[in-house]
Every structure is written in C-alpha cells, then in structure tokens.
Structure 1
Amino acid sequence: QAPINKFIAGQFTKLSYIKKNKKRIQRAYSFVNSPNSKNLEFYILLIKNGLLTPKLYDIKNNKIFISKNSFGFFTISELPKKENLWMIATGTAIGPYCSILKYENILKKFKKIILIHAVKYSIDLNYLNLFKKIKKKYKKNIKIKIILSQEKRKDYLFGRIPNLIASGELEKSVKEPLNSKNSHVMLCGNPNMIKDTQKILLQYKKMKKHFRKNPGHITRENYW
C-alpha cells in the first residue's frame, strides 16, 4: 500500500532504491492491480545479479520508493473501436492486461477479447487462477490461449508468437480471425517478440502501428 495518485489500467509507475552513495536505481513496472484496489501489485521477476529486483524481493529490509504518478498510453481509451481485441504478452508483461481486464469494461469498445500469454515453461504461469476469474467475468466474449516455447503440454500451443501467427495456427486455435478489418492488436513484453510480431503482422495481415493522428492496428509496449 502507498499513497499514489489515481492511475489508468494499463499504465506503469516507477520503483526505486537509493544506494549508500545516494545513487538512485529506478525501474518502470506496470500495475497488475485494478485502479480501485488499495493494494498495489506488480509482477516482477527476480534477477539475482540485478541492481533493483533483489532489493524488491527483500522489501522488509530495504526502503523502496514509489512514484506517486503513473505513466504510459497502453490503455483502452487510446485504442480505436474494433470487433476483436488481441492482447498478446510474454512473461511478466501479462501484468497490464490483468489490470485492464479486472477494471475496464472492454466490451463497450470490442465484441470479443483474445488474451494470449506466452512463457517458456508452464511453471512460469502464475496467473492461471486470475485467468479463470476473467473467463467467468467475460464468459463467451473472451478466449484465453497459453503458448509455451520450451515445453510441450496438452491444450497449450508450442512455439513462438510470430511463427504461430505466420502459420495461421494461432487463429486456428482460438477460432477467431486476425485481420486489419476487424482486429486491433496489443503487444506487450520482450522487444524482440514485439519487433518480430510487428513484421509478421505487416507482412501477412497488412497491419501497422497505431498512432493518434495516424490510426493503425497495433499498440505496443516494450518491457525493457
């Protein structure tokens, strides 16, 4: 808990730690919690030799600072109205989607949501219980698909997001079309995934990056 200003689901804030030499180590993290929750939640992967995450994992013994302000435009209000919203994430970048799906009434702007979460191994799936709650909330208006890149398991897709889009396997698995006419795509996570997926979407689907003054089909947020 912390006294912060109101944020919009999908935004991020900055967590920091001040070293003994008074140098500030600061990183951006997306909110996982809903804007109306008193408890702040962040999905953070421990990097053993990292400058900040070991301090965050030992928060009882370290003084962590949080910015009162929130940042970013990875929000539903920034998206054009379409039939299908594809929310695609790798690893911890599922965080902002969790916040959005908990709080926003997405169905005012989109008829159907396709949530795609890609990780290396099934052990990396930490929000399956939340996915069940989200499925219960949106019912037939949402489809959730898990992708594993280093492990084969029944009911999960295997491979990389760009390849699964190029082959048509991703669309086939969720039984929903991905095209420039009726779809908007949100990409969040590994910069390489985002770069490669954008290329595939342009090449195979004629989809381009979305801007306020130049509407497109792809909204992206790199996670480092």
Structure 2
Amino acid sequence: MAQWLNGEVIENYAWNQELFSLRVRTEPFNFIAGQFVRLGLEHDDGRVQRAYSLVNGPEEPILDFLVNRVHDGLFSPLLHQLQPGQRIEVSQPASGFFTLNEVPDGDSLWLMATGTGIGPYLSMLTTAEPWQRFQRIHLVHAVRYGADLAYQQQIMNWVKAHPNQLTYQPIVSREDYPGALRGRIPQLIESNQLQTAVGDVLTHRAQVMLCGNPEMIRDARALLNEMGLPKNLRRKPGNVTIEHYW
C-alpha cells in the first residue's frame, strides 16, 4: 500500500496557458530516473490522485512534474491552480520500470517522446548513466506547437556540454518552427527524415525508448519491429522500450 508524504508547492511555472511545471518540496526519498509517483489532493469526494513522472534527477532536492492541463479532466485543473505555499501529497515509493537499467547496451540511445512524455528523459539525462553507456544520444521531442517545447535552456546546456554525444531534435506538427521537423515521429522515421536530421541510423545496435501518445508508440513500435528492432522484454531483450503516458 502506498505511503504519502506531505509536500509544499514551491513554484507553478507556466510554459504556456496549458503546459506547466509544478515544483514541490518534500522530505528526501530515493528513486530511479524514469520512475513516477502519484500526486494527491483532497477534493469534495476525498483524495484525488494521478501518476506523474519525476522530471528532476534523483540527486535534486526539489521534485519537478511536467503537466498539461486537460480542461474536462478532474485533476490537472486542480494542479494548474496551485500556488506556492499550498500543500500536496506525494506517494511513496516511486514506481515504474521505464528506466535505463532495463535497457540493454548499445551504441546509440534514442529518447523519443510526445508532449509531457519528455519528462522521464530529462530525469535520466541528469544522471551519469546515459553519458557513460552510449556513444550517441538523440533526444527527440514531438509537440503540436513550438510553445510546447519546454525545458529548452536545460536541454541546450546539455547539448553544449556534450556536443559530440547529444543531439536534440524537436518535431512540431501544427506549425513551422525554426530547427524543428514537421510531422509525426513514425512517419519521420519511415521517410528517414529523422535519421538524416540527427545524422545517425537505426541499426540493431540502437536502443530506442518511446514515451507519450499511445498512437505514436503503437505506430513507431510496429515500424521499428519491421526494421529489425523488436520490443525489449526482460525475458527477451530487444531494442525498443516503451512507456504509455495515458
């Protein structure tokens, strides 16, 4: 049974009108980059809770959650309204197996996400593991509009610090945006546009992580399987590790 920590909202940072980062202070706890916890709030009908990935690294003291407000949802509008100083509950222990210790070795690591699915990857990139294990890392973030490309400064800092190891490729589907490809991840893989943009190829020595929209994951997984990159399972290691984000 989950235990609950009392948390204090430190910041509710708006990337745009719908996308925000909720930063929370609790007593310290251990987790593996890529895992998630549940956030809980008291509501008229009792506690309301939802799972959110930790964006912060395991060594960072403030918890960070990337949230998109769903107007007809119950929970995300409540989070959107929170202000510094207000209370929120955080479940323990952290859960999930969308972590790098579940990913086999390879030459390249492709971190592909839609929307808020980029969160686990940002946590992973704060740790030493991806930099030590993979020669090339490609962070691919697909969103609808350029304004949805969160954490740009942090990502650019990593690119600057690892210029020959990390490639960042944004994808924007509903408008032209400087430096971004336009379309969907599966189609951009199939047309080879994504591989050309990052200057790499998807071979049996590539490890791919997919996080976000279930349709993207379904289509990309099927395409990658056709390309000889099967799903990664504990009982049968492969090349594609997935996390459904809703």
TMscore range, shorter length? over 0.9
Kept in 2: contact 1:93–1:189 (CA 8 A): yes
In 1, Cα distance between the equivalents of 2:131 and 2:176?
A: 33
The match for 1:46 among 64, 69, 74 is 69
In 2, Cα distance between the equivalents of 1:202 and 1:38?
A: 39
1:111-168 per-residue CA deviation (whole Å, 9 max, x = no partner) reads 1101100001101112111111111232211111010111113321011100010111
Deviation at 1:42, TM superposition (A): 0.3
The amino acid that maps onto 2:74 is L
The match for 2:89 among 49, 65, 70 is 65
Alignment of 1:110-189 (within 5 A): 110-179=134-203, 181-189=204-212
The aligned residue for residue 128 of structure 2 is 104
Shift >3 Å, 4+ stretches: 60-63
The amino acid that maps onto 2:64 is E
In 2, Cα distance between the equivalents of 1:152 and 1:44?
A: 24
In 2, Cα distance between the equivalents of 1:167 and 1:149?
A: 16
Deviation at 1:105, TM superposition (A): 3.0
Check if 1:211 corresponds to 2:233: yes
In 2, Cα distance between the equivalents of 1:45 and 1:69?
A: 24
In 2, Cα distance between the equivalents of 1:188 and 1:55?
A: 24
- Larger fraction in helix: 1
Structure 2: 5+ residue stretches without partners: 1-24
- Larger fraction in strand: 2
Look up the SS of the partner of 1:48 in the other structure. Answer: coil
Deviation at 1:50, TM superposition (A): 1.6
Structure 1: 5+ residue stretches without partners: none
Check if 1:55 corresponds to 2:78: yes
Deviation at 1:58, TM superposition (A): 2.2
The amino acid that maps onto 2:173 is S
Look up the SS of the partner of 2:94 in the other structure. Answer: coil
Taking structure 1 as the reference length, the TM-score comes to 0.94
Look up the SS of the partner of 1:216 in the other structure. Answer: coil
Kept in 2: contact 1:4–1:68 (CA 8 A): no
The match for 1:14 among 38, 41, 60 is 38
Identity of aligned residues (%): 39
- Number of residue-to-residue matches in the alignment: 221
Look up the SS of the partner of 1:41 in the other structure. Answer: strand
In 1, Cα distance between the equivalents of 2:82 and 2:103?
A: 36
Check if 1:89 corresponds to 2:128: no
In 2, Cα distance between the equivalents of 1:156 and 1:201?
A: 22
Kept in 1: contact 2:225–2:231 (CA 8 A): no
Look up the SS of the partner of 1:157 in the other structure. Answer: coil
In 1, Cα distance between the equivalents of 2:122 and 2:87?
A: 27
Kept in 2: contact 1:194–1:222 (CA 8 A): yes
Kept in 1: contact 2:52–2:65 (CA 8 A): yes
The aligned residue for residue 245 of structure 2 is 223
In 1, Cα distance between the equivalents of 2:161 and 2:35?
A: 22
Deviation at 1:62, TM superposition (A): 6.2
The amino acid that maps onto 1:48 is H
Assess, with a 3 A threshold, how the Cα gap between structure 1 residues 54 and 4 changes in structure 2: closer, same or farther: farther
Kept in 2: contact 1:56–1:62 (CA 8 A): no
The aligned residue for residue 10 of structure 2 is none
Kept in 1: contact 2:39–2:88 (CA 8 A): yes
